[in-house]
Chains A and B, each alone.
Chain A
Amino acid sequence: MDTNGHMQHAAPSGDTAKADNDAKMRRYWQRNLRYMVVLLGIWFVAGYVLSIFFVNQLNAIHLGGFPLGFWFAQQGSIYIFVLLILAYFILMDRLDKEFDVHE
Chain B
Amino acid sequence: MSIMTWTYIIVGASFALYLSIAWMSRVKDTKGFYVAGGNVPALANGMATGADWMSAASFISMSGIISFMGYAGCMYLMGWTGGYVLLALLLAPYLRKFGKFTVPDFVGDRYYSKAARTVALICAIFVSLTYVAGQMRGVGIVFSRFLEVDVNTGVYIGMAIVFFYAALGGMKGITWTQVAQYGVLIFAFLVPAVAISLKITGNPIPQLGLGGSIVEGKDAGQFLLTALDRIGTDLGFAAYTTGFTGPGAKPMLDVLAITMCLMVGTAGLPHVIVRFYTVPSVRAARISAFYALLFISILYTTAPAVAAFARYNMVDSLNGVAYKSAPSWFTNWQKTGLIAWIDKNGDGIINYSYGPAFTGKLAFTGQDGQYGQPLIKNEPTTNKNELYVDNDIMVLANPEIANLPAWVVALVAAGGLAAALSTASGLLLVISSSVSHDLYFRMINPQASEKTQLLLGRIMIGVAVCVAGYFGVNPPGFVAQVVALAFGLASSSFFPIIVLGIFWKRTSREGAIAGMIAGMGFTLLYIIQTKFMGVAPWFLGISPEGIGTVGMVINFIATVAVTMMTPPPPAHIQDLVENVRIPRGAGQAAAAH
Contacts and interface: CB of A to CB of B under 8 A. Distances in A.
Query: Which interface class (under 10, 10 to 19, 20 to 34, 35 or more) fits B?
Result: 35 or more
B88 to A, nearest CB: 4
Contact of B78 (A39, A78, A93, A96): A78
A29 B581 contact: yes
Interface in B277-292: 281-283, 286-287, 289-290
Interface string B512-547: 000000000000000000000000000000000000
A47 B289 CA distance: 18
Nearest to A86: B290
A31 to B, nearest CB: 12
Chain A interface bracket (under 10, 10 to 19, 20 to 34, 35 or more): 35 or more
B578 A25 contact: yes
**Looking at B82, B207, B259, which has the most chain A CB atoms within 10 Å of its CB?**
B82
Given A55-B71, A65-B225, A75 B84 contact: no
Does more than half of chain A's interface fall in helix, strand or loop, or is it mixed? Answer: helix
Interface string A74-103: 110111011011101100110010000111
Contacts of B256: 48, 52
A61 interface: no
B169 interface: no
B223 interface: yes
Contact of B74 (A28, A51, A93): A51
A79 to B, nearest CB: 7
Contacts of A52: 74, 243, 252, 255-256, 259
A78 B300 contact: yes
A19 interface: no
A28 B259 contact: no
A29 B243 CA distance: 40
Contacts of B551: none
Contacts of B584: 101-103
A40 B77 CA distance: 18
Interface string B282-306: 1100110110011001001100100
6 contacts: A25-B582, A66-B225, A85-B84, A86-B290, A88-B286, A89-B289
Given A52-B243, A102-B584, 13 more contacts: A43-B85, A51-B78, A56-B245, A59-B241, A65-B212, A65-B213, A65-B223, A66-B225, A71-B211, A74-B210, A75-B301, A82-B293, A103-B281
